[in-house]
Amino acid sequence: MFCTTIEKAHPLDAIERITLWHANGRACLNEAESKEILRHYDVPVVAEAIAAGEPEAVEKAGRIGFPLVLKALGANLTHKTERGLVRINLQSVEELRQAYRQLQSAAGQDWEGCLIQPLIAGRREFVAGVTRDPQFGPVVMFGLGGIFAEALGDVVFRIAPLDRTQALQMMEELSTRKLLADFRGEAAADMEQLARVLVGLSQLALENPSIKEVDVNPLIISPNGRATAVDALVVLDDTPAAGRSVLPEETDDPERVAGINAALEAMTHPRAIAVVGVGRTRISAFPGIFRCVRNFGFPGRLYPINPKADDIDGIKAYPSLCALPEPVDLVILSVPAQAVPEALEDCVASGNKNVHIFTSGFSETAEEEGVRLQEQIKRIADEGGLNIIGPNCMGLHVPASRLLTWTAASNISGPVAMISQSGGNAQDFSNYAVNRFGLHFSKVISYGNALTLDSTDFLAYLAEDEETRIIAMYLEGVKNGRLLLRQVTEINRAKPIVILKGGLTESGARTVASHTGSLAGGEKIWRAFFRQTGAVAVDSLEEMADVIMALHHLPACTGRGVAILGTGGGIGVAAADSCAKAGLHLPALPPELMRRLRAYIPPAGNMIRNPIDAHIMLTNLDLLGPTLQLLAGQSDLHMFIVSLHLDWLYGLEQGRHIEKIGAYIAQEARRYTSGKPIVVVWRQYQPNEGIKNARKSLERILIEGGVPVYEGLDRAVGALARTAGYHMFQAGRTA
């Protein structure tokens, strides 16, 4: 036999080879070894021959037949094309001999021999591979390959494991997906074969923890649609423990979860709180944690800890936690960073296990002393079995418990919970959502540096929390991405999860051996996270509020077709552009429907299409309901946007008509929509106080009536698109 083809055996054979290579200190497998492994995992590699010398190369080339490809072979010979170590379309023995000598000279001491391959015909080249993310573990990649792989970066990722359906979805997400269809006389790519490749790579990575990266580039699509891997690289992890490593845990110990849930229940609904580090007088604009808790009306027992004071604002002070008359449900530390270790030891000694560390000055500073202090308090916390929120965080807002550890917030409970690494974002978002949209919160948790309690702990708690119906998250770092992936996937089915991920563009440059590694990055892998879990991704706190308002008030969307009704000639083009960018569409109205609308909407000044620009529906509200009813009967229309030009409408009854429109939509219009979602958009350009006041009344009426209302079409379209995406994902999962 001239080629390296081996009988396809059980993957255990491949696992044993990889384990041995890793134990022998190999950093990379050579191309032939890489393909031998990949063959076990449904990757269709090219038949090829290995030659150690020139005569052997000539002899094996004769068996393969010209034209052919000659490559230098060696474990250290990565990126061979860039190094000039590949010769293609060799037509004769003479060309082969010349190429052989050139490659041997260019490879130098890294030369281990050569690979001889038939020239695979095909103009379409793709790339597939695996990289290992520190938070999520193995990640599978697919995209446009060849010389364009890194130049264009048209690639998609999925976190392993993935199945056939997810593999096929990856191909649909490519910008260049048309290349997978019939192309210039060549057959469509065999999508099932490509799906098997991606699923196989997922299996390879999961079964072989010592593999760091895999690169299959190019994966050539032949004119008959079949794929062939003509080049491959497997990179091994250079850490000694890699071969014995396991994936980050995807599950958590049930006993630990139950214990943490009980601790968080006590911390969010405390009967007694102790605050360590309470000053006798207010020395800044911030009144301090103790006064924040007291001023918000906490009804339980509140103990200030200050060894130099008899009382704080008339409340008896204690010198230490050990001096308290009872254990407390929550200890809040507001002392200098250097004093936190001693304060934590006092928590351990007094048996107070639940702690919020308000103090900053730890690892978030990226300074040596801060890092050292965090390592020290982590040891104390672990050895003492402490449950810690923080350090470097604002803490808690629980309206039902009248618990607040910052200065101002609503005391009304609601269905939304927020988990945030940023205290500023926790405060800003909760205040904005309440004041702008009337969205109230069950719990807001700011957790900072996540010393012992992380986002996954809070998610597990909120999943069981009966007060919480929707979960908002602001994330920066994640300790266990695979656990987060599983949790979000499961919880998101019953409680929508909306995530603002910070730091996506700060992945930084990495030195990697493969195209797959260089194409990976935080943003692309998090995009895969959202695709796989169905969680809603947003880009700002404002978008988060927009989406949560829609999720809270609206029924489930069953599709992406939207009907827009309003006034103003510019609405048509703007609406089409906005919907297209967000992934919604504006279906054309069928002639019969237009005829029925024309029966009561005159042509003059009223355009019937989609959007419908008809002021008469807003001046005569008796026409709005029947119009919605006719539109609701269209199977390709799934939601409604009513766009109000307030400057124009204000001229009707000095703004009172604007209020009438709001009341009609909130009370009557929804009877005509067949249960399909409806939202309102307003536009105002004149700096008129009367119009501004009318707008505030409109918003109040609509929000109280459960109708989302947005400033500008883009915000409404964005919220509806994300909401529709959430519901359609869930429907697809359960269908």
Q: Which of the two residues, 514 and 521, has the higher pLDDT score?
A: 521
Instruction: Read off the pTM.
Output: 0.90
Q: Which of the two residues, 298 and 651, has the higher pLDDT score?
A: 298
CA distances from 597 to 614, 677, 678 (A): 11, 21, 19
Q: Which of the two residues, 478 and 548, has the higher pLDDT score?
A: 548
Q: What is the DSSP string of 104-149?
A: HHHHGGG--EEEEEE----SEEEEEEEEEETTTEEEEEEEE-GGGH
Percent of the chain with pLDDT over 70: 92
Distance, in Å, from the CA atom of 259 to the CA atom of 369, rounded to the nearest integer, reads: 32
**Is 228 in a helix, a strand, or coil?**
strand
Could you tell me which CATH class the domain 554-734 is placed in? alpha beta
Note the pLDDT tens digit of each residue in 662-697: 999 999 998 999 999 999 999 999 889 999 999 999
Task: Determine the pLDDT at residue 508.
Answer: 36
Task: Determine the pLDDT at residue 78.
Answer: 82
Distance, in Å, from the CA atom of 418 to the CA atom of 283, rounded to the nearest integer, reads: 30
Domain ranges of the chain: 122-242, 393-549, 554-734
Note the pLDDT tens digit of each residue in 305-326: 999 999 999 999 999 999 999 9
Q: Is the pLDDT of residue 7 over 60?
A: no
Note the pLDDT tens digit of each residue in 433-466: 999 999 999 999 999 999 999 999 999 999 999 9
For residues 492-503, average pLDDT? 95
Q: Is the pLDDT of residue 634 over 80?
A: yes
Note the pLDDT tens digit of each residue in 350-404: 999 999 999 999 999 999 999 999 999 999 999 999 999 999 999 999 999 999 9
Tell me if the domain spanning 393-549 has CATH number 3.40.50.261: yes
Q: Are 420 and 447 in contact (CB under 8 A)?
A: yes
Q: Which of 16-30, 226-240, 431-445, 503-517 has the lowest mean pLDDT?
A: 503-517
For residues 571-596, average pLDDT? 91
Return the beta strands (E) in 5-105 as ranges: 49-51, 68-73, 86-90
Q: Is the pLDDT of residue 95 over 70?
A: yes
Q: Which token pair is 433?
A: 């959502």
Q: Which token pair is 415?
A: 């269905």
CA angle 243, 244, 248 (to 5 degrees): 105
Distance, in Å, from the CA atom of 274 to the CA atom of 333, rounded to the nearest integer, reads: 9
Task: Determine the pLDDT at residue 198.
Answer: 98
Distance, in Å, from the CA atom of 500 to the CA atom of 493, rounded to the nearest integer, reads: 19
What is the CB neighbour count within 10 angstroms for residue 509?
A: 7
Task: Determine the pLDDT at residue 79.
Answer: 81
User: Residue 8 — very low, low, confident or very high, per pLDDT cuts 50/70/90?
Assistant: very low
Q: Is the pLDDT of residue 640 over 80?
A: yes
Q: Is the pLDDT of residue 519 over 50?
A: no
Distance, in Å, from the CA atom of 312 to the CA atom of 287, rounded to the nearest integer, reads: 13
Q: What is the DSSP string of 477-542?
A: --S-HHHHHHHHHHHTTTS-EEEEE--TT-------SSHHHHH--HHHHHHHHHHHH-PEEESSHH
**Is 573 in a helix, a strand, or coil?**
helix
Whether 393-549 and 554-734 share one fold: the answer is: yes
Distance, in Å, from the CA atom of 420 to the CA atom of 246, rounded to the nearest integer, reads: 29
Dihedral angle computed from the Cα positions of residues 346, 311, 400 and 350, in that order, rounded to the nearest 10 degrees: 20
User: Residue 584 — very low, low, confident or very high, per pLDDT cuts 50/70/90?
Assistant: very high
From the list 647, 630, 572, the residue with the least C-alpha distance to 606 is: 572
Q: Is the pLDDT of residue 411 over 60?
A: yes
For residues 107-117, average pLDDT? 95
Task: Determine the pLDDT at residue 503.
Answer: 81
Burial bucket for residue 619 (CB in 10 Å: 0-12, 13-18, 19+): middle
Note the pLDDT tens digit of each residue in 598-608: 999 998 888 88
Q: Which token pair is 613?
A: 């620009």
Task: Determine the pLDDT at residue 444.
Answer: 99
From the list 437, 454, 407, the residue with the least C-alpha distance to 703 is: 437
Task: Determine the pLDDT at residue 280.
Answer: 77
Distance, in Å, from the CA atom of 19 to the CA atom of 211, rounded to the nearest integer, reads: 9
Task: Determine the pLDDT at residue 388.
Answer: 98
Going by the DSSP 8-state scheme, the letter that residue 45 receives in this structure is B
Q: Are 48 and 114 in contact (CB under 8 A)?
A: no
What residues are paired with 680 via a beta bridge?
642, 709
Amino acid identity, residue 650?
Y
Q: Which residue has the tokens 């214990």?
A: 259
**Is 592 in a helix, a strand, or coil?**
helix
**Domain spanning 122-242: CATH superfamily:** ATP-grasp fold, B domain (3.30.470.20)
Q: Give kind and range of the element (H or E) at residue 93.
A: helix 93-107
What is the CB neighbour count within 10 angstroms for residue 351?
A: 11
Task: Determine the pLDDT at residue 23.
Answer: 74
Q: Is the pLDDT of residue 6 over 70?
A: no
From the list 433, 384, 441, 386, the residue with the least C-alpha distance to 412 is: 441
Task: Determine the pLDDT at residue 253.
Answer: 86
Mean pLDDT of the chain: 91
Q: Check the CA dihedral 525-531-534-540 and report its sign.
A: positive
For residues 586-606, average pLDDT? 92
Task: Determine the pLDDT at residue 405.
Answer: 97
Amino acid identity, residue 288?
G
For residues 502-517, average pLDDT? 49
For residues 260-284, average pLDDT? 91
For residues 700-718, average pLDDT? 97
Task: Determine the pLDDT at residue 520.
Answer: 46
Q: Is the pLDDT of residue 183 over 90?
A: no
Task: Determine the pLDDT at residue 516.
Answer: 42
Q: Which of the two residues, 420 and 614, has the higher pLDDT score?
A: 420
Q: Which of 73-87, 272-286, 617-631 has the lowest mean pLDDT?
A: 272-286
Q: Which residue has the tokens 């599950």?
A: 251
Going by the DSSP 8-state scheme, the letter that residue 426 receives in this structure is H
Q: Which of 101-105, 208-212, 514-518 has the lowest mean pLDDT?
A: 514-518
Task: Determine the pLDDT at residue 462.
Answer: 99
Q: Is the pLDDT of residue 735 over 50?
A: no
Amino acid identity, residue 60?
K
Task: Determine the pLDDT at residue 4.
Answer: 40
Distance, in Å, from the CA atom of 646 to the CA atom of 709, rounded to the nearest integer, reads: 13
Distance, in Å, from the CA atom of 191 to the CA atom of 172, rounded to the nearest integer, reads: 10
Distance, in Å, from the CA atom of 207 to the CA atom of 465, rounded to the nearest integer, reads: 37
Distance, in Å, from the CA atom of 635 to the CA atom of 632, rounded to the nearest integer, reads: 8
From the list 613, 621, 634, the residue with the least C-alpha distance to 666 is: 621
Q: Which token pair is 171?
A: 């191909």
From the list 190, 129, 189, 183, the residue with the least C-alpha distance to 156 is: 129
